[in-house]
Amino acid sequence: MRRTTRRTTAARVGLSSLLLAGSWAAFGLTPAATAAPDPAPVASGAVLAGMERDLGLTPAEAKARLAAEKEATAVEKKAQRAAGAAYGGSWFDAEKGALVVAVSDRAAADAVTEAGASVRLVEHSAKTLDAAKERIDGLDAPRGVAGWRVDPQANSVVVSVVGDQADGKAVRGFVERARAAGPVEVETVAAAPETFAAGTVGGDPYYTGNVRCSIGFSVHGGFVTAGHCGPTGQGVRGWDNSTIGSFQGSSFPGDDMAYVSVGNGWWTVPVVLGWGTVSDQLVRGSAEAPVGASICRSGSTTHWHCGTVLAKNETVNYSQGAVHEMTKTSVCAEGGDSGGSFISGDQAQGVTSGGWGNCSGGGETWYQPVNEILGRYGLTLHTA
């Protein structure tokens, strides 16, 4: 997304300098890497290399896992319909290489199996768990509560509390009220989540005031990113300090999503950067990956890292307030990565919101699902 109106060479070089998304065709440019592609492979070298490094897989294992995850993604909605009211959630089992669907009624098991998924019998339906979580969402959480989510594997709402604050009166009181809302389990986590914005430093970011964040995915007319990076109307500058556009919509807390317009000589392409470590990744859609699937993240501070989807529909309790319907991953991130791309295979998943830890010692990260952002602002994802 480098700004230029005459130097096409500089525009091509810009692909390796800033998180990009959008369409070259609008400017009559066709990079060789995207010209008349053959049928899409399971994944690009960027995804495979990241999975090999961060998940400890061989090239063959990475390809096999991505193929199995693609099949699981295709099966998930069909299996949910087959389960009907007995649906209790689903996740990808990496050892089995298959989707597992929880059902609260044994009578639904055969239909789910016929849809192509494995079955686990549970006590509570997803509807019951979602209702319990919604009741907990109405509670005021103290800082020692990191968040809460519906966990289909645990078949309960899991409340995360920070280890050194777990015995505090406010945390214990919140847990007690949460248990009254429905089936709840409590887990201890190492630290409270924080957003990943950063002050202005060198690199290839975008800037809002003195805050640096990362671009997420291209949409027609601009890009999506994290809401905590700037309010509606806030101007956005690029790596060279020139104007890109402005926030056309922004929500945080409650949500962590935003839409930024693109103009002033800037444009967008359907690409997630590999930052020279791995090859750049084309974006071909936004099919939602199941829990347990592999996922990679690109950001302007720590560049390219991979992990797995740990949970969905989690409420994350930041110091600024709770953010709902987030997805948790095992991927690390650091300050300045906020707003950056989460991608599974070649499918856009979401924009980086926050987490705990770093890419030296490890940690966890949450993202705002991209399809929610597209729906909120009526946007269309640019795809290759």
Residues in CB range of 344: below 8 A, 6 or more apart: 69, 289, 293, 294, 295, 296, 309
Residue type at 288 in one-letter notation: E
Whole-angstrom distance, CA of residue 177 vs CA of residue 76: 33
Point out the catalytic residue in the list 256, 280, 337, 346. 256
Task: For residue 338, indicate whether it is catalytic.
Answer: yes
Torsion angle of C-alpha atoms 65, 67, 72, 75, degrees rounded to 10: -170
Active-site annotation holds for 204: no
**Contact predicate 351/339, CB 8 Å:** yes
131 Cβ contact partners less than 8 Å away, ≥ 6 residues apart: 182
| Among 124, 160, 228, 298, the one annotated catalytic | 228
DSSP code of residue 241 = S
Tokens of 240: 């060279």
Distance CA 17, CA 14 (A): 5
- Phi/psi of residue 379, each to 5°? -105, 160
* Annotated catalytic residue 228: yes
Contact between residue 323 and residue 316 where contact means Cβ atoms under 8 Å apart: yes
Residue 306 vs residues 79, 356, 373, 380: alpha-carbon distances, Å: 27, 16, 22, 26
Measured at the CA of 92, the angle between CA 89 and CA 94, to 5 degrees, comes to: 150
Instruction: Tell how far CA 16 is from the center of its chain.
Output: 22
- 134 and 313 Cβ atoms separated by less than 8 Å: no
Catalytic residue among 90, 250, 286, 338: 338
Phi, psi of 27 (to 5 degrees): -110, 10
**Calpha distance 218→339 (Å, rounded):** 12
What amino acid positions are annotated as catalytic residues?
228, 256, 338
